[in-house]
Amino acid sequence: MKLDSDRTQTVKRFFGNLKIFADGADKQGLLEMNDHPLISGMTTNPSLMRKAGVTNYREFCKDILQSVTRKPISFEVFADDLAQMESQALEIATWGKNIYVKIPSITTEGRSTAPLIAKLSKAGIQLNVTAVFTTAQSIEIAQALRGGAPSYLSVFAGRIADTGLDPMAFVSASVEICSALEPKIEVLWASTREIYNLLQAKQSGCSIITVPNDILKKLNGIGKTPLEMCFDTVKTFKADSEASKFTL
């Protein structure tokens, strides 16, 4: 993602205090985002790591942490029972002060992780509670995080939208719930699908949005007029046609 200084300022004005976290597991991409002034933090997960070809979890994370030392970064546990989740979370948390340990809201058997979340948070471990889909989950998780360490509550707005539902009301409700129960919880808009989601996240009151690198590249369009985008589009058609050497 390359933005000149004017475009960077345009993006900042457009989204205000909304913090943008880069979401991925490609080392080069993560390090590039670590140096970018628009990016406030980073997140990853086991699925992204697998897609990026990561085979050694601990080695990958510690390698990234050699460079990412200031901005917050979230690494997720991959166990599926509470005891092993706790063990993994305790180790991951020791790797750096900027780490937020990602804990899914439930196990694959549907068991709530709220008791573990409460235990870890009260022990001073910064958490990113991930895969939050319902208002009931937001209430339960916010209650579990009360009085604990600073934390993120990641609402999977994009996947909620994939079901045909508008995620805006749910996200806004989650913001209100967390503000009332524990101000140290920052609500995070996750599973971003398009640049417009950044505006939705801002309007819903979110503190943070996670954005994949391929979507971050589209920030260059912020502030352009529809006609400018039209010219960019037809120029792309022309360049691709010429590169393909099409003839009729």
The per-residue pLDDT for range 17-72, each reduced to its tens digit, is 999 999 999 999 999 999 988 999 999 999 999 999 999 999 999 999 999 999 99
Superfamily assignment of 5-244 in CATH?
A: Aldolase class I (3.20.20.70)
Mean pLDDT of the chain: 94
What are the structure tokens assigned to 24, written together?
């991925």
**pLDDT category, 5, cuts 50, 70, 90?**
low
Residues counted in the chain: 248
Share of the chain above pLDDT 70, in %: 98
Query: Greater confidence, 213 or 114?
Result: 114
Catalytic residue among 12, 27, 102, 224: 102
Query: Model pTM greater than 0.95?
Result: no
DSSP calls for 159-217 = HHHHTT---HHHHHHHHHHHHHH-TTEEEEE-S--STHHHHHHHHHT-SEEEEEHHHHG
pLDDT of residue 144: 98
Are the C-beta atoms of residues 39 and 33 closer than 8 Å to each other?
A: yes
| 43 residue type, one letter | T
pLDDT of residue 3: 63
pLDDT of residue 14: 82
Q: Where are the domains of the chain?
A: 5-244
Query: Greater confidence, 8 or 113?
Result: 113
pLDDT of residue 133: 98
pLDDT in tens, 131-156: 999 999 999 999 999 999 999 999 99
Catalytic, 102? Answer: yes
Residue 174: name the closest of 210, 129, 111 by CA: 129
